[in-house]
């Protein structure tokens, strides 16, 4: 039985992983970001599951990049991958590398906002 792949979005050979494939750019960058996150305390041991999921997505993005028609695969993977990175607190836009912001002290409620029990209304 023959399968016609004329207008197929993915070829059968494109979907099977290459055992000798070298790590792609996404996987290499993710390893670098995870190592930096562990070093500075941003990525914790409890994040291991998310880190593993991010690694799978990074490998899939690298594999999609090697496809002849990568648009759909990249579009399908990019948002979940980005959300996983955000959950890991990796992008600098989410977690700036500077010093922590000062924590506000206990707020003093103005007298005119207090009720008969001293609580803010």
27 pLDDT exceeds 70?
yes
Higher-pLDDT residue of 22 and 7 is 22
Q: Where residue 119 falls among pLDDT bands split at 50, 70, 90?
A: low
Tokens of 60: 């899939």
Q: Looking at the DSSP assignment, which residues form a beta bridge with residue 114? A: 120
The residue that leads in pLDDT, 43 or 2, is 43
DSSP for 48-103, written as a single string: HHHHHHHHHHHHHHHHHHTSSS-HHHHHHHHHHHHHHHHHTT-STTTS-SSPPPPP
Chain position carrying tokens 């992008």: 91
Measured CA distances, 87 to 25, 30, 43, 95 (Å): 21, 14, 10, 11
pTM, 2 dp:
0.59
Q: Which of 6-15, 21-30, 96-105 has the highest mean pLDDT?
A: 21-30
What pLDDT score does 15 carry? 44
């Amino acid at each position: 039985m023959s399968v016609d792949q004329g207008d197929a979005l993915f070829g059968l050979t494109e979907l099977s992983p290459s055992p000798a494939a070298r790590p792609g750019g996404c996987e290499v960058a993710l390893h670098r970001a995870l190592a930096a996150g562990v070093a500075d305390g941003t990525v914790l041991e409890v994040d291991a599951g998310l880190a593993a999921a991010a690694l799978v997505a990074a490998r899939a993005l690298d594999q999609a990049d090697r496809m002849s028609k990568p648009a759909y695969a990249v579009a399908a993977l990019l948002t979940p991958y980005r959300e996983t990175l955000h959950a890991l607190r990796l992008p600098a836009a989410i977690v700036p590398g500077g010093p922590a912001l000062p924590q506000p002290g206990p707020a003093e409620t103005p007298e005119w906002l207090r009720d008969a029990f001293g609580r803010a209304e």
